[in-house]
Structure 1
Amino acid sequence: MPESFTDTPLLTERFDAALRYATRHHARQLRKGTPIPYAAHILAVASLVLEMHGDEDEAIGALLHDVVEDGGGRAALAEIEAAFGATVAAIVVANSDTLDPDDRPGWYQRKRAYVDAFPDKTPGALRVSLADKLHNSRSILTDYRTHGDAIWARFGQGLGLATRIYYRELALAFEREHDRLGPAASPYVDELRRTVDAITALAESHQGPDTRTLFDG
């Protein structure tokens, strides 16, 4: 089958500008515990959003989703809104667990609030979030299979129970919002569940059953 083309490309110069902004912001940053440039993550998240049939604002939000909480703060948020618009800025806010990197709440408080806010997030913000968490969980599973329990040191959480609980909560939250995410996102909701369950099963093979399953027990 020949390649397909369009006379109205989804991605415009706005996406190109966002890509430059994001890669410059994260230029010195690496993925936790690896030599992988952080740009690999934001590119993967944008790719997944486009595969879910997200629009250009969502794809730009995917590129920029970590700028604010990874050091940019409110100043970067203002730059993002000025350059890329209020819709993109709102997607970034919805995907940031703090707007003040130098004065952030504790880990549990931030993660609990992030999950609890799902019903108030727009479908576009949810698709960006799903892409983010799916890429992270894929990376965790791949590295867990390779390095075993040593990977949990990256998160500063002993044997990783808190991280596993958080990802199980995320999988449930996306399943609850399944209909709002749209049919093109459905396979990715299912993949997140499979990936999270595989992480849990691998942890059980290393450590035995988790002592807690979700935030509340």
Structure 2
Amino acid sequence: MLTDKIAQALALAVEAHDGQKRKGTSIPYIAHPMGVASIALEHGADEEQAMAALLHDAVEDGGAQYAERIRSQFGDRVADIVAGCTDGVPDQRGHKPPWTARKQAYLDHLKLAHDDVLLVSGSDKLHNARAIVEDLLNIGVKVFDRFSASKEQTLWYYDSLAAIFDSRRTPVAKALRETVDTMKRLST
């Protein structure tokens, strides 16, 4: 059962992503955390996992100050899931570590991550992969121009993610593998 805490998590996510858009689109960024929470709930998430799904990018995109706010407002479990889904917090200049090193470290982290993190992270990656497939159908391989990584790097990353979520038997693994395979097929 969901309580009013889910509304509080959504409100904080809206604040953290205020004014942000999805890469290369006019879509308000908050649509992404809402989609991730929906996928997580469809794959068995409880309320705390769903709240973490709503907040999974708050620290990464809204700033480090959200980490303590999440912990104090929603508790250790939600904060720990969000931390486990965060692959890089910008420094004072707004810079993250280099893409390849950051993504490889995140892949290594997922191999040992708690099941809570796997459910939310897998839901996040599935939502992103579905968005890429949708864009491939509508605008073609130009979608990869939106990313700091190349098409080949992006495909490697999503293929690696699908393999890890499959090996960890994450609830979203099958849907992610099918989506990544479609992404690869449409990218040629």
Equivalent position of 1:152 in the other structure: 144
In the other structure, the counterpart of 2:155 is: 164
Counterpart for residue 67 of structure 1:
58
Structure 1: runs of 5+ lacking an equivalent: 1-9, 205-217
Counterpart in 2 of 1:94? 84
54, 62, 66: which one pairs with 1:76? 66
TM-score, scaled relative to structure 2: 0.94
Which runs of 4 or more aligned residues in structure 1 lie more than 4 Å from their structure 2 counterparts after TM superposition? none
Deviation at 1:103, TM superposition (A): 4.5
- For residues 142-195 of structure 1, the C-alpha deviation after alignment (integer angstroms, 9 at most, x for no partner) is 10111112111100345x1111100000000001100xx3xxx2xx31111111
**Deviation of residue 87 (structure 1)?**
0.5
> Which residue of structure 2 lines up, in the alignment, with residue 195 of structure 1?
179
Q: State whether residues 93 and 99 of structure 1, in contact with CA within 8 Å, keep that contact through their aligned partners in structure 2.
A: no
> How far 1:100 sits from its partner (Å)?
3.9
- CA distance, structure 2, for counterparts of residue 134 and residue 48 of structure 1: 8
Q: Does the CA-based 8 Å contact 2:13-2:54 persist in structure 1? A: yes
Q: Identity, % of aligned pairs?
A: 40
Mapping for residues 33-72 of structure 1, pairs under 5 Å? 33-72=24-63
Q: CA RMSD in A?
A: 1.2
Structure 1 residue 27 corresponds to structure 2 residue 46: no
Per the alignment, residue 96 of structure 2 pairs with 104
Number of residues of Structure 1 aligned to a counterpart in Structure 2: 186
Q: Which amino acid is 1:38 matched to?
A: Y
**Who wins on radius of gyration, i.e. which is larger?**
1
* TM-score relative to the length of structure 1: 0.82
Q: What CA deviation, in whole Å up to 9, does each residue of 1:102-145 have, x standing for no partner? A: 35211011100111111321111100011100010000011011
Question: What residue number does 2:118 align with?
Answer: 126
Unmatched 5+ stretches in structure 2: none
Q: For residues 157 and 25 of structure 1, what CA distance do their matches in structure 2 show? A: 25
Q: Are the aligned partners of 2:48 and 2:77 in contact in 1 as well (CA < 8 Å)?
A: yes
Contact 1:49 1:127 in 2 (8 A): yes
